[in-house]
Amino acid sequence: MITETGRVVGVAGDRVWVQTIRTSACESCSARHGCGQRALAGVSDGRANQVLVANSLGAKVGDEVTVAIDESALLGASLLVYAVPLVSMVAGAVLGHQLSTGHAASEAVAMMGAAVGLAMGFLAARQGQSRKAGTWEPTLVEVRQGVVASLE
């Protein structure tokens, strides 16, 4: 499980908005000095991210919570979003090139094949995402009662 600590900043029905700053994972990771995520966090000055999570533990605004996502879910989502469109784009380019062998505009046909393949890859990724929608969501694993400052 990959975990991140955050604070509940809003409630939307049976879900809560959790605001996190990606720092805790970087400190415990052995690749922290060569990692792109750490570099991005440094550029963004640790800017906060917000994620909508099912409120299975009864968290309220101001509570500090721990949000988790399974490593396999993260890997599966990454492969779907990045690999499927890339592979289909390359396949489209190769197919377009093979179909236009000997023609003067073979590069143009290969580029059109790549564009069609990329579009089909995005559509396939979207279909795959809609089938797995509930399995790739982060979940609340711990709630620590927070103090909400009053505006009086």
Q: Give the residue-averaged pLDDT of 57-71.
A: 86
| Residue whose pair of structure tokens reads 């700053």 in the numeric block | 21
Burial of 30 (0-12, 13-18, 19+ CB in 10 A): exposed
| Residue whose pair of structure tokens reads 């197919």 in the numeric block | 95
Cβ-contact 56, 140 below 8 angstroms: yes
Residue 47 has pLDDT above 70, yes or no: no
Q: Of 54, 63, 62, 50, nearest to 135 (Cα)?
A: 54
Taking the C-alpha atoms of residue 90 and residue 92, their distance in angstroms, rounded to an integer, is 5
Residue 25 has pLDDT above 90, yes or no: no
Q: Give the residue-averaged pLDDT of 49-71.
A: 86
Q: Give the residue-averaged pLDDT of 30-53.
A: 61
At residue 146, the pLDDT reads 63
Residues in Cβ contact with 143 at an 8 Å cutoff, skipping those fewer than 6 apart: 57, 58, 59, 63, 64, 65
| Residue whose pair of structure tokens reads 């989502």 in the numeric block | 77
Q: Give the residue-averaged pLDDT of 55-80.
A: 85
Q: Is 92 helix (H, G, I), strand (E, B) or coil?
A: helix
